[in-house]
Structure 1
Amino acid sequence: MSTKHIALATSSLQGPDASLLLATGLTFASLILVPAIAAQIGLSASVTGALRIALMKASNRALKG
């Protein structure tokens, strides 16, 4: 899904729905996508952990508004 499609999909959502969708996407990325991609390209565990922490913090900020 391209950025344009994501922007169109989230532009119709407002309020708590949009923030919940964004937070869910960031959480999914931090728990599943980042470790899988990091393993494929050979990133160290510390870099992977730092990326996961950054995404989880962003997810938390999205939920709080």
Structure 2
Amino acid sequence: MLLAHGDMDQNVNFSQSQRMASALQAAGKQVQFLQYKGLDHQLDDSAARTDLLTRIGELLEQTIGH
């Protein structure tokens, strides 16, 4: 599972994603939790979006391949 969250998100509280990541880890699930500092719900930063899309691509490659 991949969770990504901007820590300045006004729509969904950042702590909810932190709690979800912790609960998944406690249940023995693999989870990547990406925190984007200073960004809101839209991740209005091209570097952050590029990073997120790259990580999504890597996860898809690992899980389902081509």
Give TM-score, length-normalised by structure 1.
0.40
More strand by share: 2
Give TM-score, length-normalised by structure 2.
0.39
- Between 1 and 2, higher relative CO (CA 8 Å, sep ≥ 6) is seen in 1
Q: Which has the larger radius of gyration?
A: 1
